[in-house]
Structure 1
Amino acid sequence: MQTFNTNEMTQQFDNMFVAPMRAYMTLSIDYSEKMLNAQLDANKSYVDTGIAQMRELMSVKDATGLRSYMEDQQKVAKEFAERVKGDADKVVALQQDFLQKGQKLTEDNVKQAQTAASKMSKTA
């Protein structure tokens, strides 16, 4: 029977459990930060658009100004819809990236565990 020293056991524990957990937590934190920043950017854009539209409406003084404001609303609505679509696409891309990287981490960890188990069974 082979004996393991404390350093080998600590290294194996780190390789099998701590390092994969740390890698997944790093991925999760990075994803959360990117998602939060995307949401903050989108919200700021939506608020800025709404405030700009309120200010424009407040500047209407007559029927001609109201007609011009109403005609501009189609353009604003189109731009807003494009922004929302772009924001949704960004979120989907972030989610797909997170899933792909998470799958890769899992695959790498399974391979590493299989290699370690194989080494352990050969030395036993």
Structure 2
Amino acid sequence: MGKKIVFGLVIILFVGFIGFQFMNSSTEIQNISTDELANKMESPESDMVFIDVREPDEFAAGHIPGMTNLPLSTLSEETADFPKDSEVVIICRSGNRSVTAAEQLQGYGFTNLVNVVGGMNDWAGDIE
């Protein structure tokens, strides 16, 4: 009976350790302000991707130059055709859809996700 308990505890500890390692290595979504977004866009790194997840009519009504429209409603692993280790900066109208998009991309294996808090509502820069 004692050996079964020890073996059970070893299994529980092993499974717990593996679970902890998995959770510890998960990707955290970084939040930035629109001012920080402006700074990133002034001197973007070569592996940065800037996406606006608003619908096409919202995007056409006014968007930040340099953003690519990839509506949340069409976002899939196939439409997210950029490298999974790219820094992906995501904006929407208020910051809610961009969080959802970041979580979705996280599920597809993207590892460097940045949400713009406040979205276009807080953007004070140029739009086209």
**Band the TM-score falls in, shorter-chain normalisation:** 0.3 to 0.5
Larger radius of gyration: 1
Name the TM-score, length of structure 2 as normaliser: 0.32
TM-score, structure 1 as length reference: 0.33
The structure carrying a bigger helix percent of its residues is 1
Is the strand fraction higher in 1 or 2? 2
More contact order relative to length (CA 8 Å, sep ≥ 6): 1
